[in-house]
Chain A
Amino acid sequence: MKRTGTYGIMAEFDSATSLMGAAHRTREAGYIKLDAYSPFPIEGLAEAIGFHSNAVPLVVLIGALIGGLTGYLMQYWISAITYPINVGGKPYHSWPAFIVVTFEMTILFGGISAVLGMLALNGLPMPYHPVFNVPRFAFATKDRFFLIVFSSDPKYSPTETRRFLESLGPRSISEVPD
């Protein structure tokens, strides 16, 4: 990405409905590098800005499988191989007794993968981000909705893009410095 001095152009909207409409129209106008910000999750908004791949479920599945395998194999290794102790004549590899810990380890690893996976895929923690340079953006965590077209978009032009965003009827428009 070449440095243009601008990160993108941001438009502010009043409601979830107008943000959703604006996101659709921006995509239809041929922009591909855009993002939307809202104070709560809006169903379908991610699809509207052209985001479809979501790797979180896969990460959780892999994490949970690793947890379950670790749990079971650990118990097998401890109870049957490295520290075999005869308890009430039960077999060393008494698998029914191992299910509880296997289950708990599956949940533990799955849960940790869900949180860490979500944060990592989202690129968080990220203390600094260019959008925070816009003073009005503080309202993105309260009651305002924002749409940004990044300057890395092939169709991006400081004047054309601004004019286009103005045509969507936003409350305000700001240039986001890089």
Chain B
Amino acid sequence: MDERIQPVADENARAPVIEPGYSFGTVTDKISSIVLTRPTSNGWFFGFGVAFLLTMMLLYAIGYLFVRGIGIWGVTIPIGWGFAIVNFVWWIGIGHAGTLISAILLLLRQSWRNSINRFAEAMTLFAVASAGIFPLIHVGRPWLAYWLFPYPNTMRVWPQFRSPLIWDVFAVSTYATISLLFWFIGLIPDLATLRDRADSRALQIIYGILAMGWRGSARHWHRYETAYLLLAGLATPLVLSVHTVVSFDFAIGIVPGWHTTIFPPYFVAGAIYSGFAMVLMLAIPIRKIFQLEDFITERHLQNSAKVMLATGLIVAYGYIVEGFMGWYSGNRYDAFTIWNRLHGPYAFFYYMLLLCNIVIPQVLWIPKLRSSPVWLFLVSGVVLVGMWLERFIIVVVSLHRDFLTSSWGMYYPTRWDWMTYIGTIGMFLAAMFLFVRVLPMISIFEMRTLLPEAEVKE
């Protein structure tokens, strides 16, 4: 309450969460007008158009995959996982920042989260949707993907619950469901605001249906806040469990380079690392284009950069432990895995990974660069590339040379692999474009609680 939004004279003091001078009315108008009255710009149509074309490319690539089978991809034995699993882990990791911001920072009473939680949650949803495509199309016979779920069937067969792959089905589907619920109940009061602000009858009806008759009664708010808090409490262990379970997909296998106990914490840290990078890559252009610098201030950028720096160092620690254990275990296969990363045919990507994930992000120690949108945008892009490379190293480099030299091989992605991957980026962006156009991208009611006038004076 105290240091939240007071204007600061001291240059060294932290930037405010909201620039001073806003009231309930102006906050509401500023955010809701983006959806309700602001004309759709040509830039939006252009951006959405490009993203939409990429989505069409994704559908084409998947359509062709369904016709020809996964032979069109670069996956072969011994590398049966390839891009599909690399991209799955990359996308699901990106989603983690949204839940971290909305749930964990809520429990920690970090009120600065209020201006970025809504679009970070949307980012989570779309990232999980992009992630979910990959295992489904990778199963080879995607029309039978529902066999993953336990349901009574005439074949009288059931899933195998001792396998981490089935755990993943439950973890990811629970994660998608809970993220959707969390995002939606956060939207209800704002949908009511849009319903009451909208001029056209059609919009009033659409937002009215979605708002479900929310009227802001004190009784409703009371139960609402309890439910929101409990949901945050449930989502917090959930988000940590999701990437842990994803890491089990690897760690429970006996492949050298996978079979380690460092995987769960290092996967979770990496997930948050890449997720915050994506949050920054979205927040920086959004605040510029929609003139939201007063709500998404330097403080948000700085804090996100600090989270990136911290989780990046945890990831670096993970790499160090992997290298150390390769030597310390005395296991020749583990030692060879590390040697192969440094000197094998994919060594270039390992050095790129170290450069992108560990070396370059250290510039964030410099306060000046940490508050520069351009630098943050560039570093975030580098981190996203680095985290993608990390998953490539884990999946491909571990599999391509495991125990017997007779079963070694190489993996080369095909253009269908690339089209599918870039297509999901297009789908993700297309969904984000639609989201910022039709829904309030900043939580209006939570922004109101940050204003000085929200405080009840005795």
Contacts and interface: CB of A to CB of B under 8 A. Distances in A.
Interface of A: 15-17, 20, 23, 35-46, 48-49, 51, 54, 56-57, 60, 64, 71, 74-75, 78-79, 82-83, 85, 87, 90, 94, 97-98, 100-101, 103-105, 107-108, 110-112, 114-115, 117-119, 121-122, 124-129, 131-132, 137-143
A93 B174 CA distance: 24
27 contacts: A35-B219, A38-B218, A39-B189, A40-B189, A41-B224, A49-B219, A60-B234, A64-B234, A78-B158, A79-B160, A87-B162, A100-B171, A101-B167, A104-B174, A104-B241, A107-B237, A107-B238, A111-B178, A111-B231, A111-B235, A115-B181, A118-B185, A118-B224, A122-B217, A137-B215, A141-B196, A141-B216
Given A43-B456, A87-B160, A142-B28, A100 B245 contact: yes
Contacts of B226: 54, 56-57, 118
B24 interface: yes
B161 A78 contact: yes
Interface stretch (B60-68, B74-82, B205-213, B407-415): B205-213
Contacts, number: 207
A68 B174 CA distance: 13
B106 to A, nearest CB: 13
Contacts of B185: 115, 118
Contacts of A37: 215-218
Nearest to B32: A142
Contacts of B404: none
Contacts of B453: 15-16
Assign chain B's interface to a size class.
35 or more
B132 to A, nearest CB: 15
Contacts of A139: 196
Nearest to B184: A115
Contacts of A20: 456
Given A115-B184, A124-B212, A141-B192, 12 more contacts: A36-B218, A37-B217, A40-B189, A41-B224, A49-B218, A82-B158, A107-B235, A107-B237, A141-B28, A141-B189, A141-B196, A142-B28
Interface string B23-38: 1110010000000000
Contacts of B157: 83
Contacts of B212: 119, 124-127
B259 to A, nearest CB: 15
B177 interface: yes
B294 interface: no
Nearest to B185: A115
Interface in B148-165: 150, 156-162, 164
A141 B193 contact: yes
A16 B218 CA distance: 12
A57 B192 CA distance: 25
Contacts of A57: 226, 230
Nearest to B227: A118
B218 to A, nearest CB: 4
Interface in B120-177: 150, 156-162, 164, 166-167, 170-171, 174, 177
A42 B456 contact: yes
Interface in B2-28: 23-25, 28
B328 interface: no
Nearest to A117: B227
A108 to B, nearest CB: 4
Given A17-B457, A101-B170, A114 B218 contact: no
B306 interface: no
A140 B237 CA distance: 35
Given A51-B219, A60-B230, A115-B227, A40 B454 contact: yes
